[in-house]
Structure 1
Amino acid sequence: MQNPQHIKNPEILPLKHSDYVRKYENSTDREIWKAFDKGNESAFNYIYRVYVPALFRYGWQFSKDEAILQDCIQDIFIYLRSRRGSLTKVNSIKAYLYKIMQREVIRSINAEKRYIHNSGEIDERIFPIEICHETKLIQQEYDLEMQGKIKFAMNQLTSRQRQAVLLLIEEDMNYKEIAEVLGFSKVKSARKIIYRALETLKVFIKEKIKRFN
């Protein structure tokens, strides 16, 4: 996988990554987003530098085409910069960007399918999330047999359940953030889908899933 830091930066200020982190480490997402919306360049650069690697990693679950992922990330930040001054309020920058990234990747894949393969579009609600060996839940288990069981169990879930579990475990998102990414209007919907997913997983890896209840 290509290092997402190699993606061309849109007018990134010449500060070290750690400088941006220190500057905003005590700020809330809402404060950082508000500063960015008002035209603060350091806030924009902080968001870009912190979230580009995460967006690339998240997009990798949907597509292994690095060009598509890079283009989507670039388009997202160009769009955000162009909309400064009229952006919606954001409580979780990560959830907001993930939701946009997911939409952009699926849109790009569908456009490519129509152009090259002349095939049907992918429904965002049933888009397949790939479970790879780099997934945290699998990577933390050193027993090869158990790794296989975990991967098998994850693949028994619906695509939406897999996505919810990955957001919970891989991305350390809370239920409110997961609800936003999945497009749920109520947080309880995120709780419900994760509860059902964990119940299914318990059938296969009961002793390994307790810590995520």
Structure 2
Amino acid sequence: MHTNQKITKSIVEDTQLWTDLKAGDEKAFSMLFERHYEQLVRYGNSFSNDSDKIQDCVQDVFADIWLYKNNLGETTNVKAYLLSSVRKRISRLQERDRIFNKITSTDVVNFLFDFSIEHQLINDEVTADKVYQLNKLINLLPSRQKEALYLRYNQGLSVEQIAELMDVNYQSANNLLHRAVLNLRKDWNVSLALLLALSPAIL
């Protein structure tokens, strides 16, 4: 891909691609697929260790989007829409194939995603050690608190979008995030300012 094409791809907003996709633009569809596929698979893998099933699930979501493009509505956040679609697809897959140990709801499926440290963002050894300890504590949080943190800081979703995606009300989503931060502060004696400063490097 030429440099100019890379630049064009980087500046095209998801919302514009969504609009073009709805109008039947195959290139827009392909760009959305390439932009979001890996992170959607990664999110799906947080609910199952059957990677092949999850990849099929994500591909089915995109296939349905293209198939029913004429019936798609407007969306203010394409990423949130895709994450929600994958989560719902997993739930249906779970009910059909019983691949999640016969659990009947994704609400009680463990969120398995491991937050990891991006070492290139951390130059100071002391800070790196603090981030490493914080990272360990995040991965010990209850699965729904960890998922809420992942959606908020890794995927950049709003509390409203998290609530819709996790099928809870706004207050419940806010409570999940609040309890997660309280648990981290309780187990890791650090100021909230430092916690929030370090979060982008982890999340």
Under TM normalisation by the shorter chain, which class is it?
Answer: 0.7 to 0.9
- Equivalent residue pairs, number: 190
Match of 1:30 among 15, 18, 35: 15
TM-score by length of 2: 0.76
- The one-letter code matched in structure 2 to 1:199 is L
- The one-letter code matched in structure 2 to 1:125 is D
Distance 2:93 2:2 in 1: 32
Match of 1:123 among 86, 105, 117: 105
User: Is this contact kept in 2: 1:36–1:43, CA < 8 A?
Assistant: yes
Secondary structure of 1:103 counterpart = helix
Give matches, 1:77-96, under 5 Å: 77-96=62-81
- The one-letter code matched in structure 2 to 1:136 is S
- The one-letter code matched in structure 1 to 2:158 is N
Structure 1 residues without counterparts, runs of 5 or longer: 1-14
Q: What are the Cα deviations for residues 65-91 of structure 1, in whole angstroms up to 9, with x where unaligned?
A: 121111111111111111011112211
Distance 1:21 1:45 in 2: 16
* Aligned-pair CA distance for 1:35: 1.6
Q: 1:122 to 1:201 in 2, by over 3 A?
A: farther
Q: 1:93 to 1:113 in 2, by over 3 A?
A: same
Give matches, 1:1-213, under 5 Å: 19=5, 22-23=8-9, 25-27=11-13, 29-113=14-98, 120-132=102-114, 135-136=115-116, 142-143=128-129, 147=132, 150-152=135-137, 154-157=139-142, 159-186=143-170, 188-207=171-190, 209-211=195-197, 212=199
- The one-letter code matched in structure 2 to 1:180 is E
Distance 1:42 1:19 in 2: 12
The sequence identity of aligned pairs, in percent, is: 22
Distance 1:203 1:62 in 2: 27
Q: What are the Cα deviations for residues 54-108 of structure 1, in whole angstroms up to 9, with x where unaligned?
A: 1111112112212111111111111111101111221111111111112222332
* Aligned-pair CA distance for 1:48: 0.7
Q: 1:51 to 1:149 in 2, by over 3 A?
A: closer
RMSD: 3.2
User: Is this contact kept in 2: 1:98–1:181, CA < 8 A?
Assistant: yes
Secondary structure of 1:54 counterpart = helix
TM-score by length of 1: 0.73
Structure 2 residues without counterparts, runs of 5 or longer: none
